[in-house]
């Protein structure tokens, strides 16, 4: 891949006007206006020299020097207060001199008054604009009144009538271009700031929606916790009270112990899932993707789930694949596999088999977990990976709240693992995981 070159024009503009990180919009506009004013003043100096208006050219040259100093003070020395003070001083002293030496009302000075007023109000605080407005109107009014009452004091400096038209037109062009630049700059900055504000508003709205969804999920989770812990604990309390108060036979005692064991296991499993979910919501850890031998991982998961399968007389069958290396987070993937196998056992009738097999399809490992249960009701399939699913019960009345599959979905997505299922009534359910392998092209 070639080295991306910096565009010279973009670099020059940013360097001359100042970067947005170091200078505010107003300061960058001041820098741009100062430079543009210097360019326009140089053009005006040249035009006036060609027309033989040397006193006017001298005044404009002084103004050029002043605006160059304004740029230097603000851009280089970063003395914005001094720069604005000099700008205002030049506007209200230099322009009257230009009016006097450039034929007064017969010259283009009124254009320049408007020019300087727009320049000042575009870079100063709004609360001072009324002062500049009154000062400009008063100064122009006094100069016009002075010329009206003392016509001989302000000489007509044009040698030919044509020179007047050329000078007026050149001044108009300069003012016109300047005002266009100011308007364009203000609009560009307005739309840029508006775009930023819109993006921030969209981000804030998105965060608000996400926060609302998280809050709803947490409320749902807490309601599940309260319900799923309260019910088993209440049942355990009733069983223990019965044993303490009533003489029961051996058969009844065995049944109660079995139920107590089942309730305890269910409660422990639910607590584990809830704690894992809560920890994940708080820490939001990044998966540690490493090469894993898939057969070993599945066997270790099945060893943990085998006692549960034996208690229901459900057999676990695993068809391994030779030498398949996958890329995943060991802890997250182990939890996903255990959740899927545990659910398959939970909803499998006695004397049936849960099949776990893996194969390679399009250079991805496909893991399948199939049970012979009654299948997932159609009304629950769209909500299967959310907390909005209704409570379900296994073949031994084991209660499920759906939190396990929510965890499986979240952990799968973080590892670029696809998870889905197929289910048919009275034919069972198959869950699928599509896991990246070392041989996958984009994983090399």
3 state SS of 424 = strand
What stretch of H or E contains 436? Answer: strand 428-436
| pLDDT of 90 | 79
Does residue 415 belong to any structural domain of this protein?
Answer: yes
Query: Are 12 and 122 within one domain?
Result: yes
pLDDT band at 274 (very low <50, low <70, confident <90, very high): low
Q: At what angle do helices 54-71 and 25-50 cross, to 10 degrees?
A: 160
Does residue 76 belong to any structural domain of this protein?
Answer: yes
CATH number of the domain within which 373 lies: 3.30.565.10
Query: Are 300 and 168 within one domain?
Result: no
What sign does the dihedral 405-407-408-410 (CA atoms) show?
positive
What tokens were used for 419? 């998870």
- The b/e string for 129-160 (b: 16+ C-beta within 10 A; e otherwise) is eeebeeebeebbeebeebbeeeeeebeebbee
- Chain segment 80-110, per-residue pLDDT in tens: 888 888 888 877 887 787 787 778 888 888 8
- Chain segment 207-245, per-residue pLDDT in tens: 888 787 767 666 666 665 555 565 566 666 666 776 666
Query: Are 71 and 188 within one domain?
Result: yes
Query: Are 42 and 145 within one domain?
Result: yes
Does residue 279 belong to any structural domain of this protein?
Answer: no
Query: Are 43 and 187 within one domain?
Result: yes
Does residue 92 belong to any structural domain of this protein?
Answer: yes
Q: How many other C-beta atoms lie within 10 A of the C-beta of residue 393?
A: 11
Range scoring the smallest mean pLDDT among 48-52, 205-209, 395-399, 416-420 = 395-399
Query: Are 181 and 46 within one domain?
Result: yes
Query: Are 130 and 27 within one domain?
Result: yes
Q: What is the mean pLDDT of residues 404-421?
A: 89
Does residue 87 belong to any structural domain of this protein?
Answer: yes
Q: What's the first-to-final CA gap in the chain, in angstroms?
A: 18
**DSSP at 289:** -
Does residue 388 belong to any structural domain of this protein?
Answer: yes
pLDDT at 6 over 50: no
Domain, as residue range, for 427: 288-443
Domain boundary among the residues 158, 179, 205 is at 205
Q: What is the mean pLDDT of residues 165-191?
A: 79
Domain boundary among the residues 150, 178, 205 is at 205
| pLDDT of 436 | 92
- The b/e string for 24-42 (b: 16+ C-beta within 10 A; e otherwise) is eeebbbbbbbbbbbbebbe
Does residue 301 belong to any structural domain of this protein?
Answer: yes
Query: Are 313 and 189 within one domain?
Result: no
pLDDT band at 3 (very low <50, low <70, confident <90, very high): very low
Query: Are 171 and 314 within one domain?
Result: no
Q: What is the mean pLDDT of residues 387-412?
A: 76
Domain boundary among the residues 205, 229, 255 is at 205
| pLDDT of 275 | 67
The average confidence (pLDDT) of the chain is: 79
Q: What is the mean pLDDT of residues 11-22?
A: 66
CA atoms within 13 A on the CB side of 375: 10
What tokens were used for 324? 């398949």
Q: Let me know: does 210 contact 249? Beta carbons within 8 Å.
A: no
| pLDDT of 355 | 94
Q: What percent of the chain has pLDDT over 70?
A: 79
Query: Are 40 and 178 within one domain?
Result: yes
- Chain segment 285-339, per-residue pLDDT in tens: 788 899 999 999 999 889 888 888 888 899 999 988 777 889 999 888 988 998 8
What tokens were used for 323? 């030498």
User: What is the CA angle 395-396-402, rounded to 5?
Assistant: 70
Q: Which residues are within 8 A (CB) of 35 and not within 5 positions of it... i.e. 6 or more apart?
A: 16, 17, 71
How far is it, in rounded angstroms, from Cα 292 to Cα 334? 11
Q: Which residue did the predictor score with more confidence, 364 or 211? A: 364
Q: In total, how many domains does the chain have?
A: 2
pLDDT at 8 over 60: no
pLDDT at 198 over 80: yes
Does residue 84 belong to any structural domain of this protein?
Answer: yes
Give me the count of residues in the chain.
444
Query: Are 339 and 431 within one domain?
Result: yes
Q: What is the largest CA-CA distance in the chain?
A: 132
How far is it, in rounded angstroms, from Cα 395 to Cα 347? 5
């Amino acid at each position: 891949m070639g080295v991306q070159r910096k565009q010279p024009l973009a670099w020059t503009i940013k360097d001359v006007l100042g970067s947005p990180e170091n200078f505010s919009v107003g300061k960058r506009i001041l820098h741009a206006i100062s430079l543009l004013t210097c360019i326009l003043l140089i053009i005006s100096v040249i035009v006036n020299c060609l027309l033989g208006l040397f006193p006017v050219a001298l005044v404009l040259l002084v103004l050029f020097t002043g605006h160059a100093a304004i740029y230097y003070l603000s851009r280089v020395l970063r003395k914005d207060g001094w720069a604005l003070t000099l700008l205002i001083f030049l506007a209200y002293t230099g322009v009257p001199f230009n009016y006097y030496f450039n034929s007064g009302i017969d010259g283009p000075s009124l254009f320049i008054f408007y020019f300087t007023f727009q320049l000042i109000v575009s870079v100063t605080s709004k609360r001072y604009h009324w002062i500049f407005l009154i000062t400009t109107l008063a100064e122009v009014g006094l100069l016009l009144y002075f010329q009206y009452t003392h016509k001989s004091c302000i000489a007509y400096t044009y040698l030919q009538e044509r020179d007047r038209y050329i000078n007026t037109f050149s001044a108009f062009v300069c003012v016109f271009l300047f005002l266009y630049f100011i308007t364009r700059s203000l609009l560009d900055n307005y739309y840029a700031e508006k775009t930023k504000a819109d993006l921030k508003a969209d981000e804030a709205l998105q965060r608000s929606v996400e926060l609302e969804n998280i809050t709803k999920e947490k409320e749902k989770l807490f309601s599940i916790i309260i319900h799923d812990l309260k019910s088993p604990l209440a049942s355990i309390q009733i069983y223990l009270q019965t044993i303490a108060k009533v003489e029961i036979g051996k058969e009844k005692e065995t049944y109660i112990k079995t139920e107590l064991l089942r309730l305890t296991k269910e409660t422990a499993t639910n607590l584990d899932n809830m704690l894992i979910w809560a920890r994940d919501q708080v820490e939001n850890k990044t998966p540690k993707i490493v090469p894993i031998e898939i057969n070993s991982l599945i066997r270790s998961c099945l060893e943990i789930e085998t006692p549960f399968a034996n208690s229901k007389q459900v057999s676990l069958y695993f068809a391994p694949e030779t030498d398949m290396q996958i890329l995943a987070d060991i802890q997250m993937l182990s939890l996903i596999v255990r959740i899927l196998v545990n659910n398959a056992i939970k909803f499998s009738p006695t004397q049936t088999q849960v099949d776990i097999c893996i194969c390679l399809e399009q250079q991805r490992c496909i893991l399948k977990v199939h049970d012979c249960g009654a299948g997932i009701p159609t009304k629950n399939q769209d909500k299967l990976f959310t907390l909005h699913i209704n409570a379900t019960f296994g073949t031994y009345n084991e209660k499920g709240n759906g939190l396990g599959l929510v965890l499986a979905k979240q952990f799968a997505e973080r590892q670029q693992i696809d998870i889905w299922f197929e289910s048919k009534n009275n034919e069972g359910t198959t869950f699928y995981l599509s896991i990246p392998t070392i041989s996958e092209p984009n994983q090399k």
